[in-house]
Each structure stands twice: as structure tokens, then as C-alpha cells.
Amino acid sequence: MRIVCMADTHQFHHELTVPAGDLLVHAGDFCRRGDLGECQQFADWWNYLPHRHKVLVPGNHEFCFQKQRARAFAMFPGTHCLLDAEVTLGGARIYGSPWQPRYLDWAFNLPRGEALAARWARIPAGLHLLVTHGPPHGTGDRTSHGERAHRGGPHSGCEDLRDRVAQVRPALHVYGHVHEDGGAWDLDGCMSANVTTWECERGCSVFDLELDRNGGGVTAVLVPERER
């Protein structure tokens, strides 16, 4: 299964070249203000893309998915919008969650600690693909924004997400949110990838997933460098 991933398009989606694949994934932040009008503009583009399977997880800019969920969902017929939910597509088990450590007053904020850990505890074992908007702590989460950083260092990701991913070991974990640290890393046989397109200054990331009894192997086909 070829998986094409993007995140943080922020209404620049028309500038993005989208490769062919079996599964198209957006890991959040396709809006800027997060209203239904922006959501519809993105949906009109997204729904036209020809990929057989589509998964979307909203991010901290998608207020419409938090406050007007039914209307937002209705804009994406044929897409699996995952908010702490699982779906199986083409034999691949996929789980998606939009939450992040509290950052200003954006959508899907939760404080670090128990509240976020409780959300991550819902992530099941045996997944082929995990999609979150925010990164785990220590991988794909280096930021130059001091208000995002945690405990005075450059990393902004969630420690509890990192720990849960280490427990359940999905074959592939993709996320966005931190524009400055796109890339992919093999963590002891589990692929972790910040698939940000950085307002479409960076291209889509592409992975091949080989399904098997042991959860599947992942090959990074395309991991773009950032363009600025």
C-alpha cells in the first residue's frame, strides 16, 4: 500500500503537487482561522483528489471540527475523519487523534499529563498506521518558537504520546504541527515521520506499507527536504 501524507497546508493546498497512491492522509491544519468557510475551500480541493482511500485528522487550527463537528464531517464524503477513532482500509489498521499539548488558545488543546495520557491510552496495539496532529517528544518536534518548547529545550512534543507509541509500536506514525522539523526516522523498526508540508513550501511524504502478520514493514519512498 502506497501512503501519501501531508500536514499544515494552511489554505495553501492549491500549490501542492500530490503524488499518486492508495491512501491519502492529512495530519491536520488545513485551515488558518478554522471556520467552516475555510474548511469548505479545502474540502472542494481534497474531495477531487483521486486516491481510493482518504484519512483526515484535524489539527489545532480546525475549530470547526471541535465546535461544529457534524457540519465539518459532512463536507468530506468518502473520507474517514478520525477523532480518537480507528478504521481498517485495504487491510491496514489505522487510528487517528487530533490532540496536542496546550498551545495558546487553539483547538484540540489539552494540558500535559493525565488529560493527554488518557487520550493516548485509547491508541490500540497492532496498528499499521497511527496519525496524530502533534509529534511525540524528541522526534520531529524541534521548534524555534519558545512558547511551544517544553522545559526550556528545543523540543515541543508530548512525552506521554512518545511513551504510548513505544508501547503499541505502530508500523508507521505520521504527524505534523511543527513546521521546522519535517523528516522521517526509523525508531527500532517503527517509522516516525513529521509529514508537514509547511504551508506547501515542502512536498508530500510518501511511504510504502507492506502488510503482513507482524504489523507490516514500511519503506520511505519520498521524504522531501524543506525548501526554505
Which residue is listed with cell 490532540? 99
pLDDT given at position 170: 97
Q: In the chain, where do the E strands start and end?
A: 2-6, 23-26, 53-56, 80-81, 85-89, 92-97, 100-101, 109-110, 129-132, 172-175, 183-187, 190-194, 205-210, 217-222
Q: What is the pLDDT of residue 103?
A: 81
pLDDT at 3: 98
Bridge-based pairing of strands 2-6 and 205-210 is: antiparallel
Domain boundaries, the chain: 2-222
* Beta strands at 80-81 and 53-56: parallel, antiparallel or unpaired: parallel
Does the domain at 2-222 match CATH 3.50.50.60? Answer given as: no
Of the candidates 192, 196, 206, the residue with the CA atom closest to the CA atom of residue 227: 196
Q: Quick one: what percent of the chain has pLDDT higher than 90?
A: 86
- pLDDT score for 16: 97
pTM above 0.85, yes or no: yes
- Closest by Cα among 41, 49, 64, 65 to 6: 49
Which residues of the chain are under the pLDDT cut of 50? 228
Each residue's pLDDT tens digit, 176-214? 999 999 999 999 999 999 999 998 899 999 999 998 755
Angle at 59 between CA 57 and CA 60, to 5 degrees: 160
